[in-house]
């Protein structure tokens, strides 16, 4: 059971990373500077500074919906995470395939799959686990190897490493659009077309030049990734004891599903 849950969770996070930056190649290298009035800069300069702003942030809220492959159901994610490995949010695998709530604080992690997840992702033993949990979170240790991928996905360093590792992926011409507004914020759009896909990144032109939204359209892709709450703390509330069930106790009670 746990192995399947982690693989599904890891796949969801990998998809978000791909949707947001690594498939787009919209961000490149550069010198880190917060700069107002970036609309006077070149497209590459704006991309450089946006990348650096994202790499310098200590915490953020990441939301995503859609997919890169039209053959798979679109997924959604809403997650607040920081560089200390704390996180709070949820992943929805789409098309009633299930969703998972995740809370991590310090060395403890809580995971709560819904009924659709147990049914579709853990067909061998899922109903038994769901019955035992009865809507409660599974609680485990961040050092538990079965939860390794979930723990890594909660760490902002993991996300930022993906961004940095793909900074030089710059195939396709990068174009700068006219300054506009996005949800009331002044932004400069950058667009790159390649492999039949149009990738657009909206960069804040006031304060730090954070990327506020990235869209991927065409070639089987239809995805939106948004960033917000930069340097805002991850919520500190954790599930109370009466809403949790120790993962080791759960596995000792039900052994029919693979780990």
Hey, where are the domains in the chain? 2-253
pTM value > 0.85: no
pLDDT of residue 124: 80
* Burial label, 116 (beta-carbon count in 10 A; 0-12, 13-18, 19+): middle
pLDDT of residue 148: 82
Inter-residue contact 255 to 127 (CB < 8 Å):
no
pLDDT of residue 165: 65
Question: What are the φ/ψ torsions at residue 162 (nearest 5 degrees)?
Answer: -60, -45
Q: Which of 50, 63, 23, 59 is nearest to 162 (CA)?
A: 23
pLDDT of residue 251: 78
SS3 call for 146: helix
Inter-residue contact 1 to 125 (CB < 8 Å):
yes
Task: Determine the topology of domain 2-253 in CATH.
Answer: outer membrane lipoprotein receptor (LolB), chain A (2.50.20)
Distance CA 53, CA 143 (A): 31
Q: How far is CA 187 from CA 26, 41, 60, 237, 244, in A?
A: 15, 13, 18, 33, 43
Distance CA 197, CA 100 (A): 30
Mean pLDDT by 10 residues, the chain (259 residues): 45 43 39 60 90 92 82 83 93 86 94 89 83 93 85 83 66 86 93 86 92 89 90 96 92 58
Tell me how crowded residue 90 is: count the other CB atoms within 10 A of its CB: 15
């Amino acid at each position: 059971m746990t192995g399947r849950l982690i693989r599904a969770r890891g796949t969801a996070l990998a998809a978000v990373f791909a949707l947001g930056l690594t498939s787009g190649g919209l961000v490149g290298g550069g010198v880190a500077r917060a700069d107002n009035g970036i609309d006077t800069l070149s497209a590459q300069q704006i991309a450089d500074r946006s990348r650096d702003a994202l790499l310098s942030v200590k915490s953020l809220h990441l939301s995503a919906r859609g997919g890169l492959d039209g053959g798979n159901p679109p997924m959604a994610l809403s997650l607040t995470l920081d560089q200390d490995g704390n996180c709070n949010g949820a992943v929805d695998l789409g098309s009633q395939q299930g969703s998972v709530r995740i809370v991590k604080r310090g060395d403890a992690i809580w995971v709560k799959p819904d009924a659709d997840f147990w049914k579709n992702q853990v067909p061998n033993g899922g109903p038994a686990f769901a019955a035992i949990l009865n809507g409660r979170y599974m609680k485990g240790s961040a050092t538990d190897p079965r939860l390794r991928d979930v723990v890594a996905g909660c760490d902002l360093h993991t996300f930022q490493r993906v961004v940095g590792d793909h900074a030089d992926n710059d195939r396709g011409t990068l174009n700068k659009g006219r300054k506009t507004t996005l949800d009331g914020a002044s932004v400069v759009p950058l667009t790159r077309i390649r492999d039949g896909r149009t990738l657009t990144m909206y960069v804040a032109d006031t304060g730090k030049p954070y990327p506020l939204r990235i869209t991927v359209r065409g070639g089987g892709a239809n995805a939106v990734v948004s960033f917000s709450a930069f340097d805002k703390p991850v919520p500190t509330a954790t599930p109370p004891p009466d809403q949790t069930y120790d993962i080791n106790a759960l596995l000792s009670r039900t052994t029919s599903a693979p780990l």
